[in-house]
Amino acid sequence: VQVPCTVVLVGTEAPNVHISPSSLSPPAHYSDSYIACKLEATSSKIRMRPENYWASLVFISVAFVGRCIGGESTLDPQIAENNINVLPSGLYWKNLSVQTADGAFLLRNCCGSVENGHICGILGPSGAGKSTTLSAFGGTISPSSRLQVNGEIFYYDKAMQTTEALTVQGGRVAWMQQKDNFFDMLTIQETLQLAAFLELPQYAERQRRQRVQSIMESLGLIKLKDRMIGNSAAHNGLSGGEKRRLSLALELVSMPKLFLADEPSSGLDSTMSKKVVGLIHKLVRQRKIPCILSLHQPQSSIFKILDSLILLGPEGYVCYHGKASEAVSYFAGLGFPCPKQTNPAEFLLDLVSVDSEDSFQANEDELRVSQLAASFAESQQCLDSYSTPRLKLNNSTIEAIDLKETANFPTKIKSQPFQPIRRFGRLLLRSWRQNIRNHHVNLFRLFASGGNAYLFTRIFRSIKKGSFTAKSVADRVALLSFGVINMSMMTLMKTLDLFAKEKPVVQREQQRHQYTSLEYLLAKTIAEIPLDTGACFAKKSHMNQSLQRKLRLLHVRSLKALTSRFCFLFSFFAVFAVVFTSTLKSLCGLRIGLKALTGVFSLMTVAGASLGFAIGALSPTGETAMITGVPIMVVMMTVGIINPAGVDESEPQPVVVGALKQLSPIAFAIKALCLGEYQGMEFGNPSNGKKRNGGNIFARGRHLLQDLPKMGALALVQNGDQVLVELGLGRDSYKGAMKHLAVLSLGNLVLSWIGLKMQAS
């Protein structure tokens, strides 16, 4: 009941019990004044008898908002029977605590609330648990973190008289993260439209576009909608403030009931920080939702924007929760006045900070923090007195709330058929755009492929056109080996770098259950992995017709536009392998055909990319993946390279080396290339390239001596098949090596899927 202030009517089980105003002290976390009056409770009614002038105002306000006849106000029987007090809509929590596996507290027994349209700031020194507290509110603490969360958090809707558990996974919580993470090759409009498609699949495309348009207009992004987001190296990308606004827009695409922000002013100057926090405050007031944000060192202008405040100390102690404007006077009453001309936020942070460098000062600081926490605990009235009924929202209630919160968003449409296919198509289109628009990286890879191929042919000059000589055996093995290493390293590092950038975005989207790990992995694989150009061009027309026929049967409009680009994009990404192999074939005398050569290098690129996926998915962070990828590739190279001097099969191979060889894609790529190069090769005259048969025996002997390799068992070889035997490849086949390479690629993709599933959970 609002008089203008909120009045909570305190009932008791025994009727006619008088509670004087002086005996009721308002809890520190509650922001409004309290007036108690005499209550007479019946099974279905509450009769109020005013005791003084202020209570009379309460009585008049009750008569104004409810049905008051003869001094009686009829309430819901369930509320009267359960002594449910009148609470404003908002987020409530009681006895909330977070502990580590070893029992250390990150948050201790916290109770409180944030009303709709209010913004609550969390202040505290570094390591006090601000981000952990936000994660507890959003329900994003994963089991793998080994943190134990106790207590109760719920959203109470006064109009509907219902409570609801809000989670990020359910789309009811907007979480603005500390760092802006996007697909940097997409535009603002493309990013928001994809987010709307993933967050609101039950609405029509026209409605989603209208929502994105209105959000961009409200946040001042409409003029920038076609600008690419870019990264730190991009000169025409978005600024820090623009990226913060985009992060805010991304969270508002859905219809949240709670807005969380982890240091929204991080990395911004003071002017932009105030604008961003002020914009958040404006939006949560317009949408009438509670907002909780963590702040590291807010300026005084930002502190004034806050409606309420949670002050955290070390070891999870809560030293204050209440009105932000009353925090300074509260601590002044405890004997800690704020000096004049001092930022209140800095003063509060100093109160709960502990000096870790001076042990004597640290003891004093810890004693002060414990006293502040104890004082607040004594004055805090926990939420038990203001409990609300635990009613579960049904679908119709949720739908009604959704429609109230979203103006100009009138109707839902039925669940669209083939939604997973549509979702996969959008993810595939995003990955393709991310790849094809990365012009600097693509141009570098293109020139590196051609340049390295040219360099290899200049180094290994004995591989001449029209001449298959025994002297060139070692150079051929070395050329093919370095070619495989070159392509695999370029692919692996590019994949790891891209995966590291995309991983935070994917984790955020999977945390909201927007798509499955398998859908993302398949879309990423198809967009990243190049195929054999010859096969792709040969089947282009057939694939286009086949895909379009299937899409017509499925009525999937969103994918029809992709079919015309399907083979072109595959061919585009196979360009790197084609440029490398074409340069090799044109500048040296490799015997293996261009199609087989391109096929091996394309499949090797597949294996390198899939290995990058697996390392990235199984690593906890992108930085860890980059650090781990290099030594893993070094091991794969070491066990995969074939010794041109030959292999002594009489000595048993160590078990560890043999096992690693079976896992090395480089080993099987080199094996496939050597088999394609040497099978059926006959050595000819080094001077004219003709086969050594007939002619003067002395001339043949002279050429034979000039042609002999200078190392190991290869000095006695007479044809390519003998070379394969000496290299230890006599029992292998080209098809077998290619199949093993494909199996390794598939296995890496399965590991990638497992890693994504583990991190998504």
DSSP secondary structure of 263-276: STTTT--HHHHHHH
Residues in the chain: 761
Q: Are 122 and 130 in contact (CB under 8 A)?
A: yes
In the listed set 32, 63, 81, which residue is the last one of a domain according to the structure? 81
In three-state form (DSSP H/G/I as H, E/B as E, the rest C), the secondary structure along 499-557 is HHHHHHHHHHHHHCCCCCHHHHHHHHHHHHCCCCHHHHHHCHHHHHHHHHHHHHHHCCH
Return the bridge partners of 39, or none. Answer: 17, 48
Do 496 and 427 share a domain, yes or no? yes
In the listed set 31, 64, 81, which residue is the last one of a domain according to the structure? 81
Q: Mean pLDDT of all residues in the chain?
A: 75
Do 49 and 146 share a domain, yes or no? no
Q: Which residues contact 353 (CB under 8 A, 6 or more apart)?
A: 125, 365
Q: What is the pLDDT of residues 328-339, one digit of tens each?
A: 999 999 999 999
Do 349 and 291 share a domain, yes or no? yes
Q: What is the pLDDT of residues 365-420, one digit of tens each?
A: 889 999 898 888 887 754 444 443 333 333 333 333 333 333 344 444 445 556 88
Residue 678 has pLDDT above 80, yes or no: yes
Q: Quick check: is 335 in a domain?
A: yes
Across the range 499-515, mean pLDDT stands at 85
Integer Cα distance of 663 and 637 in angstroms: 11
Q: Quick check: is 650 in a domain?
A: yes
Question: 636-655 burial string, b = 16+ CB within 10 Å, else e?
Answer: bbebbbbbbbbbeeeeeeee
Do 666 and 685 share a domain, yes or no? yes
CB atoms within 10 A of CB 760: 16
Position 477, amino acid: V
Residue 718 has pLDDT above 80, yes or no: no
Do 368 and 442 share a domain, yes or no? no
Q: What is the pLDDT of residues 245-270, one digit of tens each?
A: 899 899 888 888 899 999 888 777 88
Q: What is the pLDDT of residue 750?
A: 93
Do 720 and 696 share a domain, yes or no? yes
Integer Cα distance of 704 and 698 in angstroms: 10
Q: Quick check: is 270 in a domain?
A: yes
Residue 189 has pLDDT above 80, yes or no: yes
Q: Which residues contact 400 (CB under 8 A, 6 or more apart)?
A: 160
In the listed set 49, 81, 113, which residue is the last one of a domain according to the structure? 81
Q: What is the pLDDT of residues 457-485, one digit of tens each?
A: 999 888 888 777 777 888 888 999 999 99
Q: What is the pLDDT of residue 543?
A: 41
Q: Quick check: is 215 in a domain?
A: no
Integer Cα distance of 616 and 699 in angstroms: 59
Q: 173 in helix, strand or coil?
A: strand
Tokens of 382: 């926990």
More confident residue, 411 or 518: 518
Tokens of 421: 């296919």
Integer Cα distance of 452 and 456 in angstroms: 6
Number of structural domains in the chain: 3
Tokens of 586: 């044109």
Do 377 and 447 share a domain, yes or no? no
CATH number of the domain encompassing residue 351: 3.40.50.300
Integer Cα distance of 594 and 599 in angstroms: 8
Do 464 and 368 share a domain, yes or no? no
Q: Quick check: is 207 in a domain?
A: no
Q: How many helices (H) and strands (E) does the chain have?
A: 27, 14
Do 310 and 448 share a domain, yes or no? no
Across the range 315-324, mean pLDDT stands at 90
Integer Cα distance of 580 and 564 in angstroms: 26
The Cα angle at residue 583 between residues 580 and 586, in degrees rounded to 5? 150
CB atoms within 10 A of CB 23: 9
Do 66 and 97 share a domain, yes or no? no
Q: Quick check: is 242 in a domain?
A: no
Q: Are 71 and 47 in contact (CB under 8 A)?
A: yes
Do 33 and 168 share a domain, yes or no? no
Do 59 and 133 share a domain, yes or no? no
Q: Quick check: is 648 in a domain?
A: yes
Q: Quick check: is 179 in a domain?
A: no
Query: What is the residue range of 363's domain?
Result: 90-172+256-400
